[in-house]
Amino acid sequence: MSLARILTRTAAAALIAVGMAAPAQAAVSAPVADDSGPETMIIDGSYADDAPWAARMFADGRQACSASVIAPKWILTAQHCVQGANQVSFRVGSLDQTQGREVFAVPGGVNVHPSADLALVNVGSSVDVEYAPIGAPGAAEVGETVQTYGWGATCTDRPEIECQSQRLKVADVTVTDTSCSDYRGGTAICAYRGDGIPAGGDSGGPMFATAADGEYVQVGVASTSDRSSRTAYTNVTSYSSWIGSLAGV
């Protein structure tokens, strides 16, 4: 089940806030492992100290997912994060999700991929940060250690909505497959837990890898996680044409 969707179910049961676990939405409780959708948050791992492109997504004013700024007015996240939201906004410019400034999607600015767990959101005001560069095919390889980022749940013993991280977290995971499936059946990068694992509220957040030329690039968008050992990130290198057609990158 998508991290965001799980969050919504949990939230409905008692909370309203995070996101990546079911379909990576933060608007409800953090995601819970489930066979029907994605879930994602970073359990363990560590606090990030350099991620200027990071964005915290809110659905109708509630914590929902994580995201990345890829161009002045374009923010990349997961499709399941924006599904059903009347208003999508982001907090940018700080690793602390209570700081920075807020930007809002323009009317009709939420664009979802037809078959992969991806969404590109056009915001109304420019975000002046270092943008996340999208990697080329092959930028992430099986056996490679890559990094995942998000503000999602940090616990497994209570509703994830109660343990969303205030500060951005990062965790190492090891790539096991670069052509597995995401929440919607799109091409994904699957990975095994390293020093942490994504969870509810991490949905939509980026996976970064060091390419052959040494550049640190985004290769994935958080889609699902079992909150224990395995996670799947939509492989954005397979959808660079779609991303470029909208965001111009």
What is the tens place of the pLDDT at every residue in 92-113? 999 998 999 999 999 999 999 9
Considering the domain delimited by 1-249, tell me its CATH architecture.
Answer: Beta Barrel (2.40)
Alpha carbon distance 137, 160 (integer Å): 34
* Cα distance between residue 35 and residue 145, in whole Å: 27
Global pTM value: 0.83
Question: Which pLDDT does position 44 carry in this prediction?
Answer: 58
Distance CA 235, CA 249 (A): 16
Helix (H) or strand (E) holding 20: strand 18-20
Does residue 131 or residue 32 have the better pLDDT?
131
Could you tell me if 207 and 225 are in contact, meaning their C-beta atoms sit under 8 angstroms apart?
Answer: no
76-94: per-residue pLDDT in tens?
Answer: 999 999 999 999 999 999 9
- 31 close to 200: Cβ distance less than 8 angstroms: yes
Q: How confident is the model at residue 189 (pLDDT cuts 50, 70, 90)?
A: very high
User: Which residues are bridge partners to 171 per DSSP?
Assistant: 148
Judge whether residue 136 has pLDDT over 70.
Answer: yes
Distance CA 240, CA 116 (A): 12
**Residue 26, pLDDT above cutoff 80:** no
Residue 113 CA to residue 77 CA, distance in Å, equals 11
Q: What is the mean pLDDT of the chain?
A: 83
- pLDDT at 236 exceeding the cut of 80: yes
150/100 Cα distance (integer angstroms): 16
Comparison of pLDDT for 171 and 47, the residue scoring more: 171
Nearest to 151 by CA among 104, 233, 91: 91
Q: What is the pLDDT of residue 195?
A: 87
Domain boundaries, the chain: 1-249
Of all residues in the chain, the percent with pLDDT exceeding 70 is 82
Residue 19: the pLDDT is: 38
Q: Is the pLDDT of residue 222 over 90?
A: yes
The pLDDT value given to residue 42: 57
Amino acid sitting at position 122:
N
Q: How far is CA 28 from CA 6, 58, 73, 158, 167, in A?
A: 8, 10, 26, 13, 18
CA neighbours within 13 Å on the CB side: how many for 241? Answer: 1
pLDDT, position 119? 97
pLDDT band at 162 (very low <50, low <70, confident <90, very high): confident
Task: Report the pLDDT value the prediction gives residue 16, as an integer from 0 to 100.
Answer: 24
Q: How high is the pLDDT of residue 12?
A: 28
